[in-house]
Amino acid sequence: MNTAEQFRQSPYQARILLLCAALLLPGLCGCRFFVAVGKMVMGDPESTSSFEQFTGTNLSESEDRLLIICTAPHNILTEFPSVQVDLLDRISRHLENREINVVPSDDVAAWHDDHGEWGDYSELAKHFDARYVMHLTLRSFSYLEPQSSNLLRGRSEGTVKVYQVDDDSLVPVQKAFERNLHVKFPEIHPVPRETRSDEMFIENLLNRIALQTSQMFYNHRLSDTIY
């Protein structure tokens, strides 16, 4: 019996052989390696969101409203004054496209403009009839490669926390979810600065941060995961 006939008669053995071949492929590392191998063996399965894994709640199937806020320290806001609103808007759009019931970002931004601060979570949630408050806190945000002003590479770190608000509970505000956010874009090589404007690169970096944050809250194909 030749090899082709063995493959046709034993799909399981074929998958094992493919897996072995994948182990020999050069150039694959880290999470991408396991994603590639998994896709070869099992197809492209859907990945359950980190939020659902942690809380058991699929926000795409829930009627509960999610309120999103973003904060950054003074040193970031001095150089990038609109970063909070930009990320709030981008994350909201990503989640709305996944049928998650998000408080409109314009309404949230208007609240901040009127009050000058975010206030406490229970006040925000009550005003917007939201059950969850997601707070993205940026700790760092940069777009130039360290020690090289001629190369572009975005880096950002922060924390994503979600609070569940229930005024009828003895503890009306409880932390339901927390993840650290680490973004490096592009991941492999920086981009020569003369190839694109700083403004366009920053837009792309904001999109990357928003997508990576958003994927914590909806199910998506494993191959689409941003690490």
Domain regions of the chain by residue span: 3-42, 48-220
Q: Please report the pLDDT score of residue 19 as a whole number.
A: 46
Q: Please report the pLDDT score of residue 45 as a whole number.
A: 78
pTM of the model as a whole: 0.79
CA distance readout (Å), 91 to 13, 86, 104, 187, 211? 43, 9, 11, 21, 7
209 pLDDT above the threshold of 60 = yes
Q: How confident is the model at residue 179 (pLDDT cuts 50, 70, 90)?
A: very high
Query: Which of the 8 DSSP states describes residue 81?
Result: T
3 pLDDT above the threshold of 50 = no
Asked if residue 149 lies in contact with residue 161, where contact means CB atoms within 8 angstroms, the answer is no
Residue holding tokens 């914590």? 216
What integer is the mean pLDDT of 60-77?
96
**Pairing of β 66-71 and β 132-144:** parallel
Asked if residue 161 lies in contact with residue 177, where contact means CB atoms within 8 angstroms, the answer is yes
| Count of CB atoms situated within 10 Å of the CB of 73 | 12
CA distance 115 to 37: 51
CA distance 123 to 227: 34
CA distance 176 to 76: 27
Summarised one tens digit per residue, pLDDT across range 145-175 is: 998 889 999 999 999 999 999 877 778 899 9
Write down the mean pLDDT value for the chain: 84
Q: Please report the pLDDT score of residue 206 as a whole number.
A: 98
16 pLDDT above the threshold of 60 = no
What integer is the mean pLDDT of 115-124?
87
Q: How many residues does the chain have?
A: 227
Report phi then psi at 20, rounded to 5: -60, -40
Q: Which strand (E) or helix (H) includes residue 109? A: helix 105-115
CA distance 149 to 98: 38
Q: How confident is the model at residue 41 (pLDDT cuts 50, 70, 90)?
A: low
35 pLDDT above the threshold of 60 = no
186 pLDDT above the threshold of 50 = yes
Topology of domain 48-220, per CATH? Rossmann fold (3.40.50)
Q: How confident is the model at residue 218 (pLDDT cuts 50, 70, 90)?
A: very high
